[in-house]
Amino acid sequence: MAEKSNCNTKIIVDATDPKGVLGTTLPQSDLNEITSKIENLQSFLNFDFVRTAYDLKSIQSKNRLQFNYPHKETHCFRGYPIYGSFKQFFDNDADYILHLDCDMIIHETPGFSWIKEGIRVMEENEDILCVLPKGGPSTKDKSLHQGTNDYQVDENRGLYLFKNFTSRHYLIHKKRFLRLLPLKPLWLSWRDPIKSRLFGSGKMLCWEAMVQHALEKSHMWRADLMSDQAWSLHPGDRSEKFYQLLPRIIESVRLNEFPEKQRGHFDLKLNDWKHFLD
């Protein structure tokens, strides 16, 4: 996807283990293995590669920029990175940041670049903060099944507009994001900001919740492309059956093949995939 977008690319990997619930429930991959695979890709694709480094001085200085206070916390109470999510905006001089959680599955037709299209949308529209591919393959009436997340349909621009923000994947306009600062720190309980200032151990809510809070108060939107040529899935079920089916799911998504009941759904519907692939 990055190659098709025809952009200078730097891959940034947050190599620290997650904390909190995620740190105790998710098995961690061998980082040497993923690093080796990325370095092998560098032999025939042109991009830079860096790992996110954690040190207390940088954590406090970046959190002062982000929250207007040098908090020491690096992850939310669930274990998702807060410091790493913010530091990526300062690890390069690019105009746009593409973030992908490692479990995202994305379809993109061979002749289409959703990254290139997302950049075009943001270059032409100052009210767009970030762009995503559509959540799930298209429904016949172009509606989305997004749970409680409200959205508007902008037919003229070919966009679904949200005040909801997701940190699972996004292409974001860096300067527009930095205009949202400082973010308001959000905490699990009223005691946690006190614990943060005294001990550096307060339990923050997830980074996406704090970005969403700022987005809701701004004039800007998250925009999902209406194009049928790119769509994304997020797998929530990590059962043994999921991992058995995963190579076939990935191949089917690449070929734009999927169960009918997946249409309009961002969350991967594993039971329907079982029947579709069996």
SS3 per-residue string spanning the chain: CCCCCCCCCEEEECCCCCCHHHHHHCCCCCHHHHHHHHHHHCCCCCCEEEECCCCHHHHHHHHHHHHCCCCCCCECCCCCECHHHHHHHHCCCCCEEEEECCCCEEEECCCCCHHHHHHHHHHHCCCEEEEECEECCCCCCCCCECCCCCCEEECCCCEEEECCCCCCEEEEEHHHHHCCCCCCCCECCCCHHHHHHHHCCCCECCHHHHHHHHHHHCCCEEEEECCCCEEEEECCCCCHHHHHHHHHHHHHHHCCCCCHHHCCECECCHHHHHHHHC
Over range 230-237, report the average pLDDT.
93
Q: Classify the phi-psi angles of 201: left when phi > 0, otherwise alpha if psi is within -120 to 50, otherwise beta.
A: alpha
pLDDT exceeds 80 at position 22: no
Over range 230-246, report the average pLDDT.
92
- The model's pLDDT over 97-117, given as tens digits with 9 standing for 90+, comes to 999 988 999 999 999 999 999
The string over 110-149, giving b where at least 16 C-beta atoms fall within 10 Å of a residue's C-beta and e elsewhere, is: eebbbbebbbebbeebeebbbbbbbbbbbeeeeebebeee
pLDDT exceeds 80 at position 139: yes
In this prediction, residue 1 carries a pLDDT of: 84
In this prediction, residue 197 carries a pLDDT of: 93
- The model's pLDDT over 66-88, given as tens digits with 9 standing for 90+, comes to 999 999 999 999 989 999 999 99
* pLDDT-derived band at 26, boundaries 50, 70, 90: low
Are 77 and 23 in contact by the 8 Å Cβ rule? The answer is no
Q: Domain segments of the chain: what residues?
A: 55-234
Over range 202-227, report the average pLDDT.
97
pTM metric for this prediction: 0.91
Over range 254-273, report the average pLDDT.
95
pLDDT exceeds 80 at position 25: no
Q: Does domain 55-234 have CATH number 3.90.550?
A: yes
Are 129 and 215 in contact by the 8 Å Cβ rule? The answer is yes
* pLDDT-derived band at 29, boundaries 50, 70, 90: low
In this prediction, residue 13 carries a pLDDT of: 87
> Which one is predicted more confidently, 218 or 44?
218
pLDDT exceeds 90 at position 14: no
Between the alpha carbon of residue 107 and those of residues 102, 255, 276, the distances in Å are 15, 8, 17
